[in-house]
Every structure is written in C-alpha cells, then in structure tokens.
Amino acid sequence: MIYHNQNEQVIIRSMIKTDIECFVNGFAEQSWHKPVELFTTYYNEQEQNKRSVIVAEMNKKVAGYVTLLPNTNIGPFAIKDIPEIVDLNVLIAYQKNGIGNKMMDVAENLAREKSSFVSLSVGLHYGYGTAQRMYVKRGYLPDGSGVWYKGKQLEQYTDCFNDDDLTLYFLKQLQPKQINK
C-alpha cells in the first residue's frame, strides 16, 4: 500500500519482500549491523497483520522504515490496546530530509484507526538524540514510569548500562482525524 507519494521522489509505503536485502545492505554500508532475520520477521509479521512496516523510498531507493505494533506485551502499556511505534530508522544518506517525520505521520494515522493514543520507547544515549528531539516536537510526553532496561522497569539506584536497552517510554494523545469538507 502506498501511503504518501511526493512527485515520486519520496514514497511512503508498506514493506515489500525485496526491501529485506536492500535494508541489510544499506545498513551494512554504514557499518550498522541489522540482520536479515530482523527484516524477515518484520515482513512476515506484516503479512500476518501482526505489525505494520512503513518504508520510505527516496529516488526509488529504500531510505528508512518504522514499524507499528497494534499493541505490546512489554512496557507500561502492555495489554492496554495502545499501539506502539517501534524501531524508527533512516539511513544516514537520507537523514535531514523529513523522512522520519513523514513515516511518523503514517504510523500515527494507522494508530489512530485503533486508539486515541500511541506509545513508543526511545534509547537514552546520544545516538538517539535526534529521535528524542523529534518525538518531543511531535507531542510525545514521558509516561512517568521512569527508565526501563531490557524490557523491565528499572528500580531506583539499580546498576545498568547505557546501551540500546536503556529506554524511556512516551505517550501521545492523537487528535481525531480531520474530515475535509
């Protein structure tokens, strides 16, 4: 499905099977390890309606992706029927073109079909700085449950590592979809 098409330069669409190899190669070229199994799982879950996979394409090349779960089994919103945005990535060569925001627009619109809220978690180290700022600008607020590590709420004064598993959860109230008259 095509969600957005800007003069065929930037297209936001559902994942297709050939994206798997394109993403693995694209991330390898920038020295990020993203295994083929990750993208195969995402594609299979999309085909089983367990996850939406939103892909950005720029000038006919994959540029990024984000996924949306209809609900989650971990974190503060587990089993509350609140969709969760998971794993937003834009390849370095395509960053600073508004692609992340375009994919977020689509993810939020899909979430709005199921709930008036959408959640996400973001890593706390500086590698997530751009995403942290974007989420706040888009109206996401920390949910108040504190820091989570490896999928569990971190107790006060507990040791942890500042790695990709140290996260903070955010929640956004979605505005009803506007009907053009």
CATH number at residue 103: 3.40.630.30
CA distance 83 to 103: 15
Task: Judge whether 31 lies within some domain.
Answer: yes
Per-residue model confidence (pLDDT) at position 178: 65
pLDDT of residue 175: 84
pLDDT reported for residue 180: 60
Question: What domain range includes position 53?
Answer: 2-173
Six-digit token string for 68: 């949306």
Number of domains in the chain: 1
Q: Which of 56, 50, 20, 51 is nearest to 38 (CA)?
A: 20
What pLDDT is attached to residue 73?
87
Q: Going edge to edge, which strands form the sheet with 117-123?
A: 2-6, 10-14, 52-58, 61-69, 84-90, 117-123, 166-173, 141-149, 152-153
Would residue 180 count as lying in a domain? Answer: no
Residue spans of the chain under pLDDT 50? none
Which pLDDT value is given to residue 143? 96
